[in-house]
């Protein structure tokens, strides 16, 4: 291992963090754990067009995104988590108006 660490296998950032013998930065490691957890949840179906939604990570929150209409589903509490964790204005804009009426 070099003095500056190795490149994260996912995003290329230099890191000293390692998992399963692969260099992976702490942010990517956290996201991967979230995705693994999310994979255990039931897949959601888009309420608009019935497409199976994909799990995505946004600011360490798992969201369900529809590949057809780009609609996003947030679990109860996820929007609050995003609000609390939101650092970028862009994310706040993205999060506004995304929750479908139940
Ligand atoms: Zn990374
Ligand atoms: Zn859709």
In DSSP notation, 12-63 reads --EE--EETTEE--HHHHHHHHHHHHHHTSPPPB-TTT-PBPEEEEETTEEE
24 Cα–ligand 2 center, Å: 33
Q: How many CB atoms lie within 10 A of CB 21?
A: 5
pTM comes to 0.56
Among all ligands shown, which has an atom nearest to the Cα of 8? 1
- Give the pLDDT confidence of 43-70 residue by residue, as tens digits: 889 999 999 999 888 777 788 999 999 9
- Give the pLDDT confidence of 81-96 residue by residue, as tens digits: 767 665 555 555 555 5
Tell me the sheet residues that pair with 15: 6
> What is the spatial distance between Cα 63 and Cα 74, in angstroms, rounded to a whole number?
6
Per-residue pLDDT at 3 exceeds 90: no
> What is the spatial distance between Cα 2 and Cα 16, in angstroms, rounded to a whole number?
9
Among all ligands shown, which has an atom nearest to the Cα of 5? 1
């Amino acid at each position: 291992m070099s003095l500056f660490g190795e490149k994260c296998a996912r995003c290329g950032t230099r890191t000293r963090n390692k998992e399963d013998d692969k260099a992976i930065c702490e942010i990517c490691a956290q996201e991967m754990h979230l995705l693994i957890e999310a994979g255990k949840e039931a897949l959601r179906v888009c309420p608009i067009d019935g497409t199976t939604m994909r799990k995505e990570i946004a600011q360490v929150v798992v969201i369900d995104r529809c590949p057809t209409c780009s609609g996003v589903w947030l679990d109860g509490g996820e929007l609050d988590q995003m609000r609390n964790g939101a650092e970028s204005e862009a994310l706040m804009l993205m999060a506004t108006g995304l929750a479908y009426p139940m």
